[in-house]
Structure 1
Amino acid sequence: MNHFYRVAITKQFLGSAIEHKEPPLQGQIQTKVTDSTTQGDFKLITVDCDDSQHRLNITLPGVQNLEEDEVTQLAPLYQPERSIKRFDPKTRKEESVVMPAADLTRFYAAKPVEKSTKAKK
């Protein structure tokens, strides 16, 4: 089952380098969305895990459990819409392309989809 978390990223200074560490989440990480306003200090992370792993995850420092609707509201704030320039090989011109806010389909890609089947006669 997918669980949604807001995770604080800690910074450690190692000599002249800065290392960004995430809490050790249990389960398989499906998606990460980085907070662009705080230069990656927080992430929204979708993890496929069972209930016992989920209980361990929410006891970790800096991990906040989120509901699906909260993720839907927060994701565009974490990765706002932005415009980039891209070269179009067909027209051989550079064009401006608007990149949408966080593509939420990535959050739900790992969820099972129920398909209706009709019997053929």
Structure 2
Amino acid sequence: MPRDTTAEEHLRDMKPAMLRGWRRRCPSCGTGPMFKGYLAVRGECPVCNEDLSHHRADDGPAYLTILIVGHLMAPLLLWAFVEYEPDPLIIASLFSVGCVALSLYLLPRLKGVIVGIQWAKRMHGFGESKD
């Protein structure tokens, strides 16, 4: 069966793009910062001039953050409550701080991963830029 070389030529490596996004770096060069604030993606990379304005992360990073934090913290909360039987106010305070801290850590990184995936798959106009 003949291989589709046109599709293979247009593919970019997804794993490095995702790892660069996790580090909040440009998915193209991996050196320039992707964000100009906490979650605001730059219009273009200051190092390689890759146009990053095409991203459409929308609610994906928030959804993934809630999914991961919920799946990590809920069993841990249940285990801590059963094992140590702390005062409910203390455990609620501790886990509230833990959930907020983990969410603040994960949200920009997951947004970077999603932008990296979109760049690697040439979604939403990323395919029109130079390699």
**TM-score, with length taken from structure 2:** 0.27
Greater helix fraction, Structure 1 or Structure 2: 2
Greater strand fraction, Structure 1 or Structure 2: 1
